[in-house]
Structure 1
């Protein structure tokens, strides 16, 4: 008598689950190998760039290499470095692939640079990478954005509290005791604590006027800043939604200032919306001249670049450096514009 052997059927769901897991593992391994190869390629490119003998080699890492603000900071640091036979490399600029700040940090560490200038934030990922660099003997100086939990050497940037006071005083001047809606464009990076200090300082400045909160209504909105297009769309939405257009629009970086200026022009709101901007690029200065932007904050980029080199050199020579380097800021309006465009003065500093 023939024995009938029953085969155990494997559930289709289990098969699909196993295949999915295998596919995900394969994709993850492939991605890791591709990223490893990219890092090795970039390191090789950097070795070619540094074929000339330099006493020191520093890497500058920021979120937006296309920003005229950061290009100005880099040029200043590069010029100051050349005086001491030091090469400053603007990481990510002119590379075929796009890398995040975290990936660029890994590349800089793998390249064994002598120092890193980093536009940081308070994220755990950057804290870990900064500490890893320091453990490998690479000092890190944060610039404009800080990471206070890390072992970074120094911080070079603006005083966000004073910057908030400058914006707050401008709001009070524009409002002049009348009903006024204020919108502050904040970064969608929740790890950027500096902007929170700045916002609190604006609010505190407004409170210096009795009953100001009865006629000045301030709120904030998060702006997508992953790309210029994302920022443009976020800011344009403000002008499309009925009842959301403010009397005063406060911008905390160059990208948002430029996008806000363009939106005000495109939606015919010149004269209705007062823009308080940031930085003094050619586009922004022309907008101030045409009274499209009410005022803008000038940050001394030459000073930032010079302080970065000075702090790193001081540490290399003495083993110590100041923990904080505060750079100058000034307010530019149509009234004092000539002081800046003619190149004679730095204007009123705060």
Structure 2
């Protein structure tokens, strides 16, 4: 090959190199500009707040209604609500989930406080890390929580006592099934119930037992109670599945004479009231609890002052108004 051809080849290769280099630099600059624009968009886009709602038991129908209310508020206010909870009622599991939520540094925590003594330090830990906490269904009044949303449980127990006192005739002995020996809300309901029954000498509470928020355990404990105290003619449950469990026990023992009073508006309870198998139940507003808790958390994040206690309504449902409740 002649020197002239070599020179021409080198010139062509040089210009090809410049062409490739130019396009490489242009593509790189364009890519860098695109990445910069994406980063700016990412930083400028508002982040959706992330709240965690910790239930007492993941698939409990009462807590599912709280979840529904919370999710409805989440859609309305533009927030992500993550619903979690133990598969079976367990205070230890709830505390572990609360610890995880704190470690994840979420924007807000909505949690039931089963026991003020054990939950208060964890709630205060979250507050110290600038994570707002609202208690729901059961309060931790000694903690630094922002607010409590739910039933006034002492008054709910009193309303249950009044429902029994106004509907039971004659001298009666009463057996009580509570949801938990350790849960503050159950203890408050029991105390409220006892305070009313104590005002009626013809009514006597002879036994109290715990169902651990389980229909099967409610049935087992009710059956044991009725065998030990066959003179019991009124039975009362203070958590959502207790009345249905009591009803199962009376069927097993063929005790159709037992007058049953319950708590919450579980579908089976309402149907049993309609069929005359359960006398009455005190219902809460779990949907309203979930909705209000999310709304109050958003109010707090928007620097609006919120009330420390937000009590949702309660009412007695019996055969006179059960159809209205079922229609809701």
The TM-score with structure 2 as length reference comes to: 0.78
Question: CA 1:111 to 1:172, structure 2 compared with 1: closer, same or farther past 3 Å?
Answer: same
Q: Which residue of 2 aligns with 1:7?
A: none
Residue equivalent to 1:266: 252
Give structure 2 stretches of 5+ with no counterpart: 1-45
The match for 1:101 is 94
> Cα 1:165–1:268, aligned 2, differ >3 Å: closer, same or farther?
same
Q: Which has the larger radius of gyration?
A: 2
CA contact (8 A) 1:92 1:99 kept: no
Q: Could you say which residue in structure 2 is the equivalent of 1:348?
A: none
Q: 2:194 aligns with which of 203, 227, 245?
A: 203
CA distance in 1, matches of 2:279, 2:47: 45
Corresponding residue for 1:217?
204
Q: Identify unmatched segments of 5+ residues in structure 1.
A: 1-52, 344-350
Q: How many residue pairs end up in the alignment?
A: 282
Who is 1:249 aligned against? 235
1:320 lines up with 2:305 in the alignment: yes
Deviates more, 1:181-190 or 1:326-335: 181-190
**Superposed CA offset, 1:122-143 (max 9, x none):** 3432111111111111111111
Aligned to 2:167: 174
Q: How does 1:58-137 map to 2 (within 5 A)?
A: 58-92=51-85, 100-137=93-130
Match of 1:185 in 2: 177
Q: Is 1:162 aligned to 2:147, yes or no?
A: no
CA contact (8 A) 1:67 1:255 kept: no
Q: Could you say which residue in structure 2 is the equivalent of 1:238?
A: 225
- 1:287 deviates by 0.8
- Asked if 1:306 corresponds to 2:298, the answer is no
Q: Secondary structure at the match of 2:77?
A: coil
2:52 touches 2:82 (CA, 8 Å); kept in 1?
yes
The 3 A distance-change label for structure 1 pair 224 and 331 is closer
The answer to whether the 8 Å contact 1:303/1:327 transfers is: yes
Whole-angstrom CA distance in 2 between matches of 1:280 and 1:76: 15
* 2:137 is equivalent to residue 144 of structure 1: yes
Higher relative contact order, chain-length normalized (CA < 8 Å, sep 6+): 2
| Superposition deviation, residue 205 in structure 1 | 2.7
Shift of 1:224: 4.2
1-side partners of 2:180 and 2:327: how far apart? 36
Question: Aligned-residue CA RMSD in angstroms?
Answer: 2.5
1:106-150 Cα deviation digits (max 9, x unpaired): 111122111111111334321111111111111111111111121
Q: 1:231 to 1:168 in 2, by over 3 A?
A: closer
TM-score normalised by structure 1 residue count: 0.74
Could you tell me whether the CA contact under 8 Å between 1:277 and 1:297 is conserved in 2?
Answer: yes
Query: Which secondary structure does the structure 2 equivalent of 1:113 belong to?
Result: coil
Contact 2:77 2:298 in 1 (8 A): no
